[in-house]
Amino acid sequence: MKKHHPTSPIELKIAYIGGGSRGWARKLMIDLAKCPDLTGEVWLYDIDMESARLNEQLGNWMQDKPGVVSRWRYHAEESLTKSLQDADFVVLSIQPGTLEIMGQNLAIAAKYGLYFPVGDTTGAPGLVRGLFSAITYAGFARAIAEHCPKAWLINYTNPMTICTRTLTKVAPQLKVFGCCHEVFSSQEMLAQIAMQYLGLEAVPPRHEIEVNVTGINHFTWIDRATYKGHDLLALLREHVNKPGVIREYTMAEVLEKKNWFHNADQVKLALFQRYGALAAAGDRHLVEFVHGFITSPEELGRWGVVQTPIEYRLARWAKAPQQTRDLMAGKIPFDLPDTGEEGVLQMCAILGLGDLITNVNLPNIGQIPNLPLDAVVETNAHFSRDSVRPLTAGPLPAGIWGLVAPHVNNQEMIVEAALTGDQDLAFRAVMNDPTTVLPIDKAWQMFREMLQASRAYLPGWNI
């Protein structure tokens, strides 16, 4: 849709909760740097002030680099309330708990025979992470409601649904949405299909693949996909029925390149073959929502999926500051790549610089009428000046409802359990997760061990 440029850049205060971020912060800096229509301040709040200060340096250092067309001042700030005061936008992108806790919870799950490739969204480790994230987010919600009640909030933290839902449950008056790029890769897959089956000379750009999106974060479904009017799901049906398209992988094949984010789209295609709609997230997420896949590393491998080793995450985390310093020292060349993120585009749309339709996480006001009102769901939405309004996706068909609705119920229970301190309720969510294929006594033991591991983030809980 059409973009307007303002006569002079719009002045903003952006509060960044989790401003010490070692990954996503830099993408925001780059996208802001390349946007001539905005300017202002970014306040970086983090419980890790050292990281926040490094990002402050990086952000300010970047200002006079070639290709940068806007001006931003970055401040690391240890007071949450000062960071938030009168902000126009609040970006939330934190690491709930620590990577060590994440590692412990994944190891506990593995001990019980459950091998989660990611573990940040659903399944026992994702739900326990959600439990303590919700406690943290409840505090954010109250602070934002007090210090910048008119700000727009953009959540990036996983578990996306639980974090976003906590904000809207604690402070329903706030303007909140949650963003995730996971759907984009499905558009890219469909673009490939378009090229292959329509005889195009090149892969069309992602934004030309029109999709209808419905479901919940990391378990969204595309029930309609077109490229210039061509029905891409019909082409995909043809595709999956070709011999060899759906096939078994070997562990060797999967581990070969040590690509810890290996994705072969086998789960996505198998679900498509049987359910008639395309699960939009990558297989690493999908296997965590449906029973039968995470029961062993070999089973995962058969589908081309590998568990990301926590050691890898820890090493990446540890190396990040030095890489930032190397960048500023000129040891690593600096450029402004395409980040593939839409956050700044969305801000521009909200500021009235051009409408946008994209998928985001919002409270259900009817867009999926057979999921509960107020639960956070992911669909396309229309962004315009000071407005983010979901497109109506319509009821989920029965087969997919059966896959999605239990997770919505579990997420609602986790948020409620976090806000009321109800351990039994939290367990029911974990037990009801379709991947918790344990008898109830074993599930309870596993749950209790995870609470133990996470106790630092469950203040006042009887663990």
Which residues between 202 and 231 bind its own copies (CB under 8 A)?
Answer: 210, 212, 224, 226, 228-229
Of the candidates 101, 170, 270, 347, which one interacts with its own copies according to CB under 8 A? 270
Stretch that binds its own copies, among 36-44, 48-56, 256-264, 272-280 (CB under 8 A): 272-280
Q: Which of 368, 360, 346, 363 is nearest to 415 (CA)?
A: 363
The full DSSP string for 398-452 is: HHHHHHHHHHHHHHHHHHHHHHHT-HHHHHHHHHHSTT--S-HHHHHHHHHHHHH
CB nearer its own copies, residue 55 or residue 379: 379
Cβ partners under 8 Å of residue 258, min gap 6: none
CB of 48 vs its own copies, minimal distance in Å: 36
The string over 236-270, giving b where at least 16 C-beta atoms fall within 10 Å of a residue's C-beta and e elsewhere, is beebeeeeeebeebeeeebeeeeebebbbbbbbbb
Extract the tokens encoding 311: 């050691």
Binding mask 56-75 for its own copies (x = CB under 8 A): --------------------
Answer yes or no: are the C-beta atoms of 30 and 105 closer than 8 Å: no
CB of 339 vs its own copies, minimal distance in Å: 23
Kindly report the backbone phi and psi dihedral angles of residue 199, in degrees, each rounded to the nearest multiple of 5, phi listed first. Answer: 65, 35
Binding mask 306-325 for its own copies (x = CB under 8 A): --------------------
**Region 177-196 residues binding its own copies, contact defined as CB under 8 A:** none
Kindly determine how many residues on this chain lie close enough to bind its own copies according to the rule CB under 8 A: 73
CB of 392 vs its own copies, minimal distance in Å: 4
Q: Find where tokens 């990577």 sit.
A: 99
Calculate the CA 293 to chain-centre distance. Answer: 21
Which member of 147, 181, 207, 239 is catalytic? 181
**Region 360-389 residues binding its own copies, contact defined as CB under 8 A:** 365-369, 373, 382, 384-387, 389
Of the candidates 9, 40, 321, 434, which one interacts with its own copies according to CB under 8 A? 434
Question: H/E/C letters for each residue in 259-284?
Answer: CCCCCCCHHHHHHHHHHCCEECCCHH
Under the criterion CB under 8 A, does residue 416 sit at the interface with its own copies?
yes
**SS3 state at 35:** coil
Answer yes or no: are the C-beta atoms of 58 and 33 closer than 8 Å: no
Under the criterion CB under 8 A, does residue 234 sit at the interface with its own copies?
no
Under the criterion CB under 8 A, does residue 37 sit at the interface with its own copies?
no
Of the candidates 57, 185, 392, 445, which one interacts with its own copies according to CB under 8 A? 392
Is 181 catalytic? The answer is: yes
Under the criterion CB under 8 A, does residue 9 sit at the interface with its own copies?
no
Stretch that binds its own copies, among 12-20, 160-168, 313-321, 422-430 (CB under 8 A): 422-430
**Region 341-360 residues binding its own copies, contact defined as CB under 8 A:** 352, 355, 357
Kindly report the backbone phi and psi dihedral angles of residue 11, in degrees, each rounded to the nearest multiple of 5, phi listed first. Answer: -90, 125
CB of 7 vs its own copies, minimal distance in Å: 13
Radius of gyration of the chain (CA): 22
Of the candidates 257, 338, 424, 460, which one interacts with its own copies according to CB under 8 A? 424
Of the candidates 9, 40, 276, 421, which one interacts with its own copies according to CB under 8 A? 276
Calculate the CA 195 to chain-centre distance. Answer: 28
Under the criterion CB under 8 A, does residue 421 sit at the interface with its own copies?
no
**Region 236-265 residues binding its own copies, contact defined as CB under 8 A:** 246
The residues annotated with a catalytic role in the active site are 181
